[in-house]
Amino acid sequence: MDVNLLEVEQLRKSYKDAEVLKGLSFTLARGDVLVVAGPSGCGKSTLLRCINGLEPFQSGVIRLSGRDLTAPGVKWTEVRQKVGMVFQSYELFPHMNVLDNLLLAPRKAQGLSKSEASARAASLLERVGLKDKMKSFPRELSGGQKQRVAILRALMMKPELMLFDEVTAALDPEMVREVLDLMLELATDGMTMIIVTHEMQFAQAAASRVLFMDEGEIVETSSPDVFFTFPKTDRAKQFLNIFHFEKKERRH
Ligand code: ADP
Ligand code: MG
């Protein structure tokens, strides 16, 4: 039987005495696109950071392809090659051009030759229409272009799982689309992804499943069609109301 790509079991995480993740459990099969939604402060970023080894946690188990990531001998540097993460702020290296930003990690961590890594970078840049920006520096790119390069930089490692933490939240509206389109394309190509986003229409289109969190707990897991039309819980209904406006009659 094919093991799940990711298994999270009873994950608990506290900062000092504040429990931020209160025993989360879920699994992700290969090719799943899980959208994680929930109010600010409910623990979405913390969850992603735990999966990527950026935060230690108090208890619970995270398995990638059946392998317990907290077992002795597991190297997070190796795990991070399999789990790519993209943040709201692009975190490109400002003093390096686009190509060098893309080459750095695979050359260092995977020992790829310069020609192999350059070929990989060229084909990714070509795919998103940014090949002519290869020699540009991050400051010469628009926000949307920077964020797409940041996504490509994660893809350079050929990850098995991609984590996206509100990657369009800092972008001007006209640039949001090009980034979401790239993510949709990755989803169509079968990439396994966990996406934290407030772009609800996109979430509905991209997700194979929606996990709704509140106050460090999973409140509801649903198919996108169910979640966005008939959410099962009142907390999810309240949350979705934030994105809904009704036209009011003018008083005067
Ligand atoms: P979300 O991404 O859903 O907005 P976060 O995972 O960023 O939520 O935060 C969850 C909770 O943990 C919040 O109450 C936040 O204030 C707290 N928190 C996040 N990071 C830290 C930290 N480094 N130290 C202490 N508390 C933190
Ligand atoms: Mg967050």
Q: Where are the domains of the chain?
A: 4-241
- Taking the centre of ligand 2 as the mean of its atom positions, its distance from the CA of residue 104, in whole angstroms, is 27
Q: Which atom of ligand 1 is nearest to the CA of 196?
A: 2
Average pLDDT over residues 226-247: 92
Classify strands 192-196 and 33-37 as parallel, antiparallel or unpaired.
parallel
Q: Is the confidence at residue 58, as pLDDT, over 90?
A: yes
Number of neighbours of residue 215 by Cβ within 10 angstroms: 14
Ligand 1, pocket residues at CB < 6 Å: 15, 20, 38, 40-46
Buried b (16+ CB within 10 A) or exposed e, 111-134: ebeeeebbebbeebbeebebeebb
Please give the share of the chain, as a percent, with pLDDT higher than 70.
Answer: 99
pLDDT in tens, 175-231: 999 999 999 999 999 999 999 999 999 999 999 999 999 999 999 999 999 999 999
- Count, in order, helices (H) and strands (E) of the chain: 9, 10
The CATH code of domain 4-241 reads 3.40.50.300
- Taking the centre of ligand 2 as the mean of its atom positions, its distance from the CA of residue 124, in whole angstroms, is 28
Classify strands 6-15 and 18-28 as parallel, antiparallel or unpaired.
antiparallel
- Taking the centre of ligand 2 as the mean of its atom positions, its distance from the CA of residue 1, in whole angstroms, is 35
For the entire predicted model, the pTM comes to 0.95
Give residue 77's pLDDT band: very low, low, confident or very high (50, 70, 90): confident
Ligand nearest 213 Cα, by number? 1
Q: Which atom of ligand 1 is nearest to the CA of 216?
A: 10
Instruction: Output the six-digit token pair for 87.
Output: 């943040």
Q: Is the confidence at residue 70, as pLDDT, over 80?
A: yes
Q: Report the distance separating Cα 206 and Cα 109, nearest Å.
A: 31
Pocket test for ligand 1, best of 19, 20, 213 (most atoms within 8 A of CB): 20
CA distances to 19, 26, 38, 58, 131 from 41, in Å: 12, 20, 8, 19, 38
Q: Is the confidence at residue 1, as pLDDT, over 80?
A: no
Nearest to 78 by CA among 90, 87, 94, 65: 65
Ligand nearest 239 Cα, by number? 1
